[in-house]
Every structure is written in C-alpha cells, then in structure tokens.
Amino acid sequence: MPRYIPDDVLDQIRLRADIIDVVQSYVPTLKKAGLTWKACCPFHHEKTPSFTVNPDRQIFKCFGCGKGGDVFKFVMELENLDFTSAAEHLAHKYGIIIPETPARRGGARRESFDGEIEYGTRERLCTLHEKLAAFYRRFLLEHPDGPVAAYFRTRGIPNDVADKFCIGASPDSWDAAIQFAHKEGFVDSELRDSGIVSSKDENQSHIYDRFRNRLMFPIWNESGRIVGFSARSVEADPQGWKYVNTPDSPIFHKGRLLYALNFARTAIPKAGAVVLCEGQLDAIAMHRAGVTHAVAPQGTAFTADQATILKRYTSTAVLATDNDNAGREAVFKDAAILLPLGFNVKVVRYPGAKDADETLSKFGADALAGAVESATDFFEFALDNAMSRVDPSTPAGRAAAANDVIYWMVQLENEVTREFYYDWLAKQLNVPLSSIEKVAERRLVEGARHSAVNVRRDAGAMPPPKPRNTALENAVFELLVLILDEEKYAREAAEELPADSLGDSVPGRAAEALLQSAMNGEWKDAPSSILTTLEMEGADVSKLVEAMDTAAGHAAERAAIEAAREAGQPAPQPSCPAADPELCKKFFRNTYNSSVRLILTDYYTRKRAELLAQVKALPPDAPERKALFDEIKDISSALLKLPARFKVVI
C-alpha cells in the first residue's frame, strides 16, 4: 500500500496529538480513573464505561465492543476516515504542516490502485468549500439590492450571527462558482467530487453551478471544516426544490452530519442536553436566543448514526420540531430512534407560534429559551396526543390511550425507568398498575421475538469461521505481551526465533517487528510506530492494542507497589504474577519458555512437513534426497530437545 505521509511527520503528529486531548474533544465525559481514563464507549451503546484510554501507551481500548488502537485509529473510527485522511485531519488540528507531494501540488485527483481517494483530496475539497463559503458571504454583503439579500432581510438575522454561520448568497449565474474555483487553482474533477457543480450529460463533460440565486448555509462537520452547503430558494413559489443540498461526497455524508454541532459541542455537555431542531433556520434562531446547545439533522430525517454521535455528548434530547402535524409525527419518529439508545426525550412546545424562528421574532429570545427550558417530558406529550384521539371519559378510550403510550414506554432500555413510567401512567389514567404492567409485558415479549428473528437473520449472513490454531495464537500473544514489557526478552527471542516463525496474524507480525527493533536498539519507541503501520495497512489491531494495554498495566502496577513499599506504606495487591515485582521474574521466564517452545514446535513441525513433501515429489534416485533427509533429521532432533531447552519451572 502506498504511503503518502512521511514517517517523521507521522511521528510529529503522534507526539503533538495527545490521545487524551483528542478523545476528550469528542467524548467530553472521559474521566481519569486510576492509571487510565474511562468513559462510556463512543462506538457502541453501553451504560457502564468499558472504554479506556491509556495516556502512557497513547492507546484506547473498549472491553465491550473490542475496538482499540492509537490516536489515528480513534479518528479513523469516529470520523469515518481512512488512515491518511485521519492523519491529515490531526495534522490540520495541531498545526503540523505536511510537505507537498507531486500529487498534492498538481491539485489533480488521483486514485490509488485500490480505488481509495488519495490523501490530499479531502483537504483540498474542504479548502474549496471554505473559500467558496467566504465568496458567497461576500457576494451577499456586496449585493444588498439583489433578490437573495431582499429575502434574507425578511428573516431578521443580525449581521454578527450571519457572520458566525457564514450565511451567503449564490449569484444568479451558471458558472460564477466554477470561475471562482478555477481562479483559486481548483480543477474540474475536484469541482465534480465536491458536489458544487451539476451536469446533465452522463460523462459530466459539461458542468454548471449547482447553487444559483439561493441563500447559502455552509455545513460544517463535527471538527469544524466546511464540507457542504444547504441552499434555500428565495422565490415565494420556487420552481425547483425549496432546499438544494450538497449530494453525498468523499467529505459529505448527510446521515452523519448535524448542522451547528461544531458550534454546540462544548455547550451540550454544559447544558446536559442537546436541542434537536428541524432545520438550519430554527437552529440559528436557537443560538441567537442563547440556546447554544442546538443542532439540526442535515437534510430530511434524523438517523441512528446522528443519534449515536449525540450520545457521546449527552443522554438528554430536547426535540424542537414544528408545531404542526408533520412536526408531531417527527417527534415520534425521532423518539423511536432515541429511546432505545437510552436517551431521555423531551418535547418543546411553542404556544402561539409555529416554530422556533417565529417564537423568536414574535416573542423574543427569553420566550424561546423559556420554551426550551420548560420542554415537556416525551411520555406526557405522547399521552396528550393519544388522549386527543379517544374519548377519555370511557374505560375503553383510556385503555386505547394507555396501549398507545405503553408502546413507547417499552422502548426505554432501562428497567427502573420503565417501572417509574408505568406507575406514572397508571396514576394519570386512574387504572391499576398491574394492568399497565400486563400490557407492557406482552409488548416486551413480542419485541424480543422480533429482535430474535432479526439476530438470526444477521447471523445467517456471516461467513463460517476459519479453523484456527488457538494454542499457537495464545503463545504468540503471550510472547508479545512479554516482549512489550521487558526488553531483555525481546533481544533473547530475536536470537532464538527464525524470521517466519511468528505467523501472519497481527500479534505475530507485531512481535516480529518488535524483535527487529530490539536488535536495532529501538525497542522503546517501536510499539507505537508498529501500531501505526499496521493500522495504515487496514489491519485489525485490536489484539495488539490489548497486548500493549496489558503490558503497560503490569508495568504500572509493579511501579505502584514498589513506590508504596519505598514509602513504607501498605502496597496494593497485584492483579497477577506479572504485576508483582518479585514473582514477575520467574513468571516471565516461564512465560517465555512455554511460548517460545510452542512457537518453535509449530515452526519445526511445519518445516519438517514441507521437507517431507519435497522428498516425496523427488524420483527415488535423486541426489538431493540425501541433503533433505539430513535436514529432516536435524529438525527432528531439534524438536526432541525443545522440552529440555525451554523448561517451565513451577
């Protein structure tokens, strides 16, 4: 696989981009817990934290879903990037300059042989968007008599807010953006990739501006780069769509973007909630009213991906949808995504107005902030909604309403919370709790049956597992943990193990690379660059991360015990022999002997089988047979000597 970023630049990024700092910028709940840092995992849904970050090793590891790696891997997973884009992203964030390569300088898009868009393309597409956003902003300011400016004034958005959200105007032209981009040094293929142009013909030879005579809202990604636009028509009765959005591109994935999250990301944990608006204008209205923890899904519907992103910041979602039928439907659709993920859901109501924007212009900032502050609990909203459709004076009507609301309550993931709401509902409807619970139980059973069917269906699609030599895998893994912990054993194993004895697994390749580094006197700094290299190749590095984490944990425990003893204080109990300053020496020797013995047994057995196959393929009178037989004899005697050479002392 081609490498586009020089090693010394990768080292610089690794040094500067501290993993605690990077993880915390995405997972504000990350807290120090003893020797490591902990939080609920940003990659899978959980209630108790099993996601840990080790600042000494600069790695993260989730014991729930198994994801792990270094700072590059973390950004790859969270931002959905390939290795080079993740490295580039971190370089940008920490102000590290990546030297220009011919591919970058030319500005032309090139694809590597596996079809992945090359490093540099992403950066150029973001830069193109940022320049274009400034161009649209200037155009709005410089054309106050134009139709877009006239419409914009009716929205009553002050200039400082328009500046912050970089609201602009696209000229009424087929090629204004194209000409601007050309002047800035961008080529047509980049314009096509970015989605800022359209084309009617199949091979896209004739391109024209996608956004014409529209109010332009730049869309930022989570880390504050502009990656697309949402463009609103300014005509009272638009010919085309009311909104035209950037199509999905290498940098724009609408199901994973939340408008204004870049501005809201620090305010959300502080407020303990996120406000979810219907569109950009509502989100802007919220921010104007001081509700700075507001975001809006990009495009149409709110997605589970977007909910998972928000879950990293908070567990309370305040839905601020329009005060109409479509808005009410949206509340239930969003709740169906949010409740099973463990969110508390609230609903904003706008008395006397249709949405956030109108509340702000009619009643002012305090009224809008107040509406958010006094948002209704989702189940209260659901009950009101259900009651409005039945006759609440009859038992049958109340039963139907209860049935409706219970449907939503069973989606709550927490049992205690569910019980709380059953009780609340029973009191509201004046029915016995036991009948609510009976209905709920039936619903839960039905739900479980549904998901069991789904799980089976998923399982059927999985390929059958490959047969594995687990004893050998374990031995390689144990050796890896040991040589990560103690340099002495890395040097010893480097002398003893043949180059191809450790196999192709990730722990095997990592161990082999570490042995070579130990021979070159580079043992200390090797693990992090080995990890980066394997990640860059797209390998599953979870076992390597686990080994690094285990080794670092043992070393830290030993240090803590020794420090306590020196200070004359009671020492903490070691978690295993390797973490005990005294026992570790014997334990290490035994681990080394047993794992190396197993690895060599496997290696010699394989070699002998290969040689025997070679002998069989030869004619009976071939002169090479003698040499081969001698070799086989040597291997057999080496095999016999292994138990005595690598004794395990109990």
Q: Give the pairing of strands 316-320 and 274-277.
A: parallel
With contacts defined by CB under 5 A, name the span among 59-67, 87-95, 125-133, 623-631 that binds Zn ion.
59-67
Closer CB to Zn ion, 64 or 146, in the complex: 64
Stretch of 61-69, 162-170, 359-367, 584-592 lying at the interface with Zn ion (CB under 5 A): 61-69
Q: How far is the CB of 40 from Zn ion (least distance, A)?
A: 8
Which residue, 315 or 403, has its beta carbon nearer to Zn ion? 315
Of 305 and 384, CB closest to Zn ion: 305
- Residue 41 or 283: which CB sits closer to Zn ion? 41
Q: Does 45 bind Zn ion (CB under 5 A)?
A: no
**N residues, the chain:** 650
Q: How far is the CB of 42 from Zn ion (least distance, A)?
A: 8
Give residue for tokens 């540099």.
120
Q: By CB under 5 A, which span of 33-41, 221-229, 410-418, 519-527 interacts with Zn ion? A: 33-41
Q: Measured in Å, how far apart are the chain's first and last C-alpha atoms?
A: 46
The conformational region for residue 117 under phi > 0 = left, psi -120 to 50 = alpha, else beta, is beta
Q: Which is nearer to Zn ion, 10 or 62 (CB)?
A: 62
What are the CA-CA distances from residue 282 to residues 187, 289, 291, 374 (Å)? Answer: 36, 11, 11, 18
Q: Are 390 and 397 in contact (CB under 8 A)?
A: yes
- To Zn ion, the closest distance from the beta carbon of 47 in angstroms equals 12
Closer of 26 and 378 to Zn ion (Cβ): 26
Instruction: Count Cβ atoms within 10 A of the Cβ of residue 62 and give its class: 0-12 exposed, 13-18 middle, 19 or more buried.
Output: buried
Taking the C-alpha atoms of residue 647 and residue 650, their distance in angstroms, rounded to an integer, is 10
- Residue 62, beta-bridge partner list: 51
**What minimum distance in Å lies between the beta carbon of 311 and Zn ion?**
12
Using alpha carbons, select from 640, 612, 635, 601 the residue that is nearest to residue 497.
601
Segment lying near Zn ion (by CB under 5 A), choices 31-39, 43-51, 87-95, 468-476: 43-51
Closest approach, Cβ 531 to Zn ion, in A, equals 18
> To 10 degrees, the CA torsion angle through 409, 410, 413, 415?
90
Minimal distance in Å, beta carbon 45 to Zn ion? 9
Shorter beta-carbon distance to Zn ion: residue 68 or 299: 68
Specify the residue, 65 or 635, whose C-beta has the smaller distance to Zn ion: 65
Angle between helix 470-485 and 583-617 (nearest 10): 130
Between 40 and 547, whose beta carbon lies closer to Zn ion? Answer: 40
Contacts for 97-106: CB closer than 8 Å, 24+ residues apart: 98/5, 98/9, 99/6, 99/9, 101/4, 103/4
- Please, what is the minimum distance in Å from the beta carbon of residue 68 to Zn ion? 9
User: 282, 128, 534, 438: which is closest to 526 by C-alpha?
Assistant: 534
CB of 28 to Zn ion, least distance (A): 17
- Residue of 315, 261, 305 lying closest to 283 (CA atoms): 261
Is 62 an interacting residue with respect to Zn ion (CB under 5 A)?
yes
**Distance in angstroms (rounded) separating the CA atoms of residues 327 and 325:** 5
156-215: which residues touch Zn ion (CB under 5 A)? none
C-alpha gyration radius of the chain? 31
Instruction: Count the Cβ atoms, other than its own, within 10 Å of residue 419.
Output: 15
Site stretch for Zn ion (CB under 5 A), options 36-44, 169-177, 555-563, 618-626: 36-44
37: left (phi over 0), alpha (psi -120 to 50) or beta: beta
Kindly state the DSSP code that residue 187 receives in the 8-state scheme: -
In angstroms, what is the minimal distance from the CB of 310 to Zn ion? 17
Task: Map residue 522 onto helix, strand or coil.
Answer: coil
Residue of the chain from 28, 64, 397, 447 that contacts Zn ion (CB under 5 A): 64
List Cβ neighbours of 96 (8 Å cut-off, separation of 6 or more): 9, 12, 13, 16, 90
CB of residue 57 to Zn ion, shortest distance in Å: 18
Instruction: Tell me: does residue 38 bind Zn ion (CB under 5 A).
Output: no
Between 43 and 313, CB nearer to Zn ion: 43
Our CA dihedral for 537, 542, 548, 554, rounded to 10 degrees, sits at 180
In terms of CB distance, is 68 or 218 closer to Zn ion?
68
Binding-site size for Zn ion (CB under 5 A) equals 6
* Residue choice 44, 155, 253, 443 for contact with Zn ion (CB under 5 A): 44
Which is closer to Zn ion, CB of 43 or CB of 229?
43
Distance CA 98, CA 10 (A): 9
Q: Tell me if 65 contacts Zn ion by CB under 5 A.
A: yes
Stretch that binds Zn ion, among 44-52, 199-207, 406-414, 446-454 (CB under 5 A): 44-52
Question: In whole angstroms, how close is the CB of 65 to Zn ion at the nearest point?
Answer: 3
Query: Considering the complex, what minimum distance in angstroms separates the CB of residue 17 from Zn ion?
Result: 21
Nearest approach in angstroms of CB 61 to Zn ion is 9
Cβ atoms of 292 and 261 within 8 Å: the answer is: no
Give yes or no for a contact between 388 and 338, defined as CB atoms under 8 angstroms apart. Answer: no
Phi, psi of 318 (to 5 degrees): -105, 115
Q: Does 136 bind Zn ion (CB under 5 A)?
A: no
Q: Which is nearer to Zn ion, 68 or 120 (CB)?
A: 68
* Minimum CB distance to Zn ion, residue 46 (Å): 7
- Of 10, 49, 12, nearest to 27 (Cα)? 49
Rounded Cα distance between 140 and 136, Å, is 6
Q: How far is the CB of 189 from Zn ion (least distance, A)?
A: 38
In this chain, which stretch among 42-50, 164-172, 354-362, 442-450 interacts with Zn ion, using CB under 5 A? 42-50
Least distance in angstroms from the C-beta of 535 to Zn ion: 17
Q: Of the ranges 38-46, 102-110, 438-446, 466-474, which one interacts with Zn ion (CB under 5 A)? A: 38-46
Nearer to Zn ion, 65 or 638 (CB): 65
Residues 203 and 207: their CA atoms lie apart, in Å, by 10
Pair 426, 398: CB distance under 8 Å = no
20 vs 365, which CB is nearer to Zn ion? 20
Of positions 26, 43, 211, 603, contacts Zn ion by CB under 5 A: 43
What is the C-alpha separation between 479 and 521, in angstroms, rounded?
A: 19
392 vs 402: CA distance, rounded Å: 11
The stretch among 34-42, 228-236, 535-543, 635-643 that binds Zn ion (CB under 5 A) is 34-42
Q: Is 41 near Zn ion (CB under 5 A)? A: yes
74 binds Zn ion (CB under 5 A): no
Among the listed ranges 62-70, 245-253, 409-417, 429-437, the one in contact with Zn ion (CB under 5 A) is: 62-70
Candidate segments 6-14, 24-32, 37-45, 161-169, binder of Zn ion by CB under 5 A: 37-45
- Residue number, 62 or 598, with CB nearest to Zn ion: 62
Sites of contact with Zn ion (CB under 5 A): 41, 43-44, 62, 64-65
